[in-house]
């Protein structure tokens, strides 16, 4: 049986939001078992807590945003991926602005801060979502399949194929683990096309974007002086985004995840589809006793639908 974890020490940092361009300060505090990840907008006195669950997703346009009773927080996917990848089940994230800082465009700095803060094991068992029957979402030529697996844990097979010389066919296939996340996914940066920058900024987006926090691609070259961190950094970042988005189901997943060209919108649809199909998965605390695996109760499903 695996137990839930939270931070040992408080994390504090600040940075610029990718889309708003606002300087935002963040504090991440330890939290109790079964509380999950919760965001608080400290610049909005009296605002509600924003639980990091799929039912609170308000936008998937160029980032994932959460909201509750008028309070919103955007670009949460890299921080959520770091929590998921590093095994942080419970934490309180306080911000004084509308967006999680983009940092260097990856989850690497979040990973480093979690490692420096340390983790504490709680007395609450960790419940895994074990996939028993296939779950899929499809949109045009994009898709995500979530399949049962005979192996413990989560395995990932992700592929992209863009009409661009630098983003031709790339794929990433690994069993998912903390070590894989730290060494092979966490440092992969977000990316965008130079031709789209003016359009994005005209629509109030990418105001904090720069070569310091994103890979920028022209028709003929990668503009970042240092080039890429991995030859296939683009697909690795897409996996990182998927992990951050899928973490919003509220429990670590056990199964096979197969994706092709998915983005935030399709990732969110998968999270929704999982909760719409409760007969296709079961919760397990991985205890050896026979009754360790159980189906979600009607009360739990109702609660998740209204959070």
The set of catalytic residues is 264
Q: For 50-94, give the secondary structure using H, E and C.
A: EECCHHHEEECCCCCEEEECCEEEECCHHHHHHHHHHCCCEEEEE
**Inter-residue contact 148 to 136 (CB < 8 Å):** no
**Inter-residue contact 136 to 145 (CB < 8 Å):** yes
Angle between helices 108-117 and 77-86 in degrees, nearest 10: 50
Residue with tokens 């359009």: 199
* 129 burial level (CB within 10 Å; 0-12, 13-18, 19+): buried
Q: Which of 128, 140, 151 is nearest to 274 (CA)?
A: 128
**Inter-residue contact 13 to 109 (CB < 8 Å):** yes
Is 140 in a helix, a strand, or coil?
A: coil
């Amino acid at each position: 049986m695996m137990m839930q974890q939270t931070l040992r020490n408080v994390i504090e940092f600040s940075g610029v939001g990718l889309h708003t361009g606002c300087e935002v300060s963040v504090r991440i505090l330890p939290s109790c078992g079964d509380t999950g990840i919760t965001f608080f907008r400290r610049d909005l006195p009296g605002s509600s807590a924003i639980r990091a669950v799929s039912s609170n997703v308000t936008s998937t346009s160029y980032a994932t945003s959460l909201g509750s009773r008028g309070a919103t927080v955007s670009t949460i996917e890299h921080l959520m991926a770091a929590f998921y990848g590093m095994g942080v089940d419970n934490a309180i994230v306080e911000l004084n602005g509308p967006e999680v800082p983009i940092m260097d465009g990856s989850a690497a700095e979040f990973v480093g801060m979690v490692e420096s803060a340390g983790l504490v094991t709680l007395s609450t068992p960790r419940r895994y979502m074990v996939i028993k029957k296939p779950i899929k979402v499809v949109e045009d030529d994009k898709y995500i399949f979530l399949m049962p697996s005979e192996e413990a844990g989560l395995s990932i097979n992700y592929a992209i194929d863009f009409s661009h010389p630098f983003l031709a066919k790339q794929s990433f296939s690994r069993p998912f683990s903390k070590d894989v996340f730290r060494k092979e996914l966490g440092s992969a940066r977000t990316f965008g096309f130079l031709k789209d920058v003016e359009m994005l900024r005209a629509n109030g987006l990418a105001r904090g974007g720069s070569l310091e926090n994103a890979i920028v691609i022209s028709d003929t070259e990668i503009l970042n002086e240092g080039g890429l961190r991995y030859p296939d950094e683009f697909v690795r970042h897409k996996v990182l985004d998927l992990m951050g988005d899928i973490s919003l189901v509220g429990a670590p997943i056990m199964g096979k995840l197969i994706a092709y060209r998915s983005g935030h919108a399709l990732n969110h649809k998968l999270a929704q589809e999982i909760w719409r199909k409760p007969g296709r998965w079961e919760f397990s605390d991985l205890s050896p006793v026979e009754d360790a695996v159980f189906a979600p109760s009607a009360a739990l499903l109702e609660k998740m639908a209204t959070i």
